[in-house]
A and B are shown apart, each in its own frame.
Chain A
Amino acid sequence: MSIEVKNLSFSYGKLRALHDVSLSLEQGAVGLLGPNGAGKSTLLRILLGFLAPDAGEGRILGYDIRQEQPLIRRAVGYMPEDDCFIPGMDAVSFTSYFGELSGMPRQEAMKRAHEVLFYVGLGESRYRLLETYSAGMKQRLKLAQALVHDPRILFLDEPTSNLDPHGRTEILELIRDISSKKGIQVLLCSHILSDIESICAYVVILNKGQVAAQGDIQELKEINYRLFELKIKGESEDFVKKLRDLGCRVEETEDKILKIYMPADQDKMRIFEVARQTQVQVRQFVRSQTSLEDLFARAVGVD
């Protein structure tokens, strides 16, 4: 296991940010999801050693998160959410500077800085002052400084925030390339579910400081429930109430389509039985593809 934490807890004063979080993550891209205040950033900060957990233990690449923080930071690259730069520097000196601080020899850091800047698409503008960079270029720069020392794990905190659609696509393409072809594990923390769905095979959903769900995205979507979309004719009130009594979650969209999230152990024919009992005509019945949004909504208990 490259990242393994057991019973991790952390509080900011009286505010409990993480409670009894246990994770076991292997190679590949992992998405870290959760609403605001769920504890995602706190978890990243603990993994990086910025914060010491109140309880629990953890290992990253075999290094203890309490005792061996310098070794973890040497093996991990971190791309923060906020814009980070040092005024007066150009991209090459900035990137090589952080390579040196990671423990690279000066010459090697400089050579490597050129390479990663070309890789992230800043080759042409690597001698420009950072103050003149656009939001998209600053995102790439943050990725370059996270990659410069060739980490084994990358922690990416909202890597596509503040980007236009084109810039977002390019950054996602880079992350996909890094995680799938370069053998670097990626822990992607994002609010944008489609970003996670497009890159990660595995997802961890945090809610109120606890793990609400974790596992392979496809399996989670399959195992937990099936989604059906219906159009009906007649009074829907009784129909919906009876479905809810069966354990289904029912949502009505603006165009009057009923989305029924049915537990995996229920037979879909029960929907027709309920329709017959409540004298409702089923005009349309479609087995729909569940999305990460659906999974997320179920895990954190919001519509």
Chain B
Amino acid sequence: MTIREKGYTHWDGQLRQTRFPWWPITRTGIKLAFKIKGFRLFFVFSLIPSFVYLVGIYISERMENFRFMIKGSEKILQINPGYFKSYLTSDFLLFMMVMLLVFGGARLISDDLKNNALQLYFSRPIQKKDYFLGKASILFFFLLILTLVPGLVFFLMKLIFAASFAFFAAFPWLLLSIVIYSLLVTIFFASYTLLLSSLSKNKRYVAVLIFAVYLFSDIIAAILNEIFRTPYVALFSLKVNLQQMGAFLFQQKAHYAVPWFYSFLVLAAVCALTVWVLGKKIKGVEVIK
């Protein structure tokens, strides 16, 4: 290893102030996520429901051709806001999202803490908000591919297969519901992941935490429900809160008789906690007082 195989030359370009200084963090994070084997596998699996639901939309418009296959299941294939809600709030999709967070999200901040990378980031002309936005956008990218993109594609395909705008005319608010719900789920899961990722330098511990908190919140809600027999204990479950919000936004009957804004407050509280914890935990340097 010889030094100066090529000499040092000054760079004659101009450093620029970009509008999105966080973009290199996002682009690099997405690339690094795809290098993880487990992540690639779960990402592919998590796309399966969207293909199944897309096929469902196609069949619903060609019912006479597929009647031999359906045999009384026509009700399932009625394309209405409930169909969109059942895709976006399905247990399987939410579980796959959590698995993506486990494999691709756990390391986002914990690796930087472990490998002292924060001081490299913050010695550059980027601010804390750029760092968080860059990291969160990595999760936005993957989560929106599983929520917003399929939702919009379903809507578009419904119009194309039906060859009319009747569906749009019947549910003009549906597009907005898809966008709002997708953003809600994405922002919540991104906050939840970044919060847990900032708590430890050990990405395995964070991965377990992401999975366990999601799972145990559901189990605790079920246990409390057995004890107290009140629907309000469902608010302890992260999954149920997301599903309650889905039911409200898609104008469907909620599974639990709890006002939607309670669920919204629970989800918002997690996001607020994330902002507070990240502000406290993430510093360019360790400051020991």
Contact = CB atoms under 8 A, between A and B. Distances in A.
Contact of A51 (B3, B24, B287): B287
A82 B116 contact: yes
Interface in B126-151: 126-127
B71 interface: no
Interface stretch (A71-79, A206-214, A241-249, A255-263): A71-79
A93 B32 CA distance: 11
Nearest to A102: B124
Interface string B82-124: 0000000000000000000000000100011001110111111
Interface residues of A, number: 57
A294 interface: no
Contacts of A12: 287-289
B28 interface: yes
A87 B289 contact: no
A152 B66 CA distance: 71
B5 A84 contact: no
Interface in A85-135: 85-89, 93, 97-98, 100-106, 108, 112, 115-116, 118-125
Contacts of B25: 101
A84 B115 contact: yes
Contacts of B6: 115, 118-119, 123
B120 A177 contact: no
A102 B122 CA distance: 10
Nearest to B18: A103
A48 interface: yes
B2 interface: yes
A165 interface: no
A298 to B, nearest CB: 30
A88 B36 CA distance: 9
A83 interface: yes
A45 B24 CA distance: 24
Contacts of B24: 97, 100-101, 106
Interface stretch (A142-150, A224-232, A265-273): A142-150
A101 B119 contact: no
Interface stretch (B7-15, B50-58, B205-213): B7-15
B284 interface: yes
A86 B16 contact: no
A163 interface: no
Interface string A133-164: 00000000000010101100000000000000
B163 interface: no
Interface string A174-188: 100110001100000
Contacts of B126: 101
B285 interface: yes
A88 B287 contact: no
B81 interface: no
Contacts of B8: 115-116, 119, 147, 177-178, 182
B11 A108 contact: yes
Contacts of A45: 284-285
Interface in B256-289: 283-285, 287-289
Contacts of A123: 5-6
11 contacts: A13-B289, A48-B284, A74-B15, A76-B123, A78-B123, A80-B116, A82-B116, A101-B121, A104-B11, A115-B9, A118-B4
Interface of A: 12-13, 15, 41, 45, 48, 50-51, 69-71, 73-74, 76, 78, 80, 82-89, 93, 97-98, 100-106, 108, 112, 115-116, 118-125, 145, 147, 149-150, 170, 173-174, 177-178, 182-183
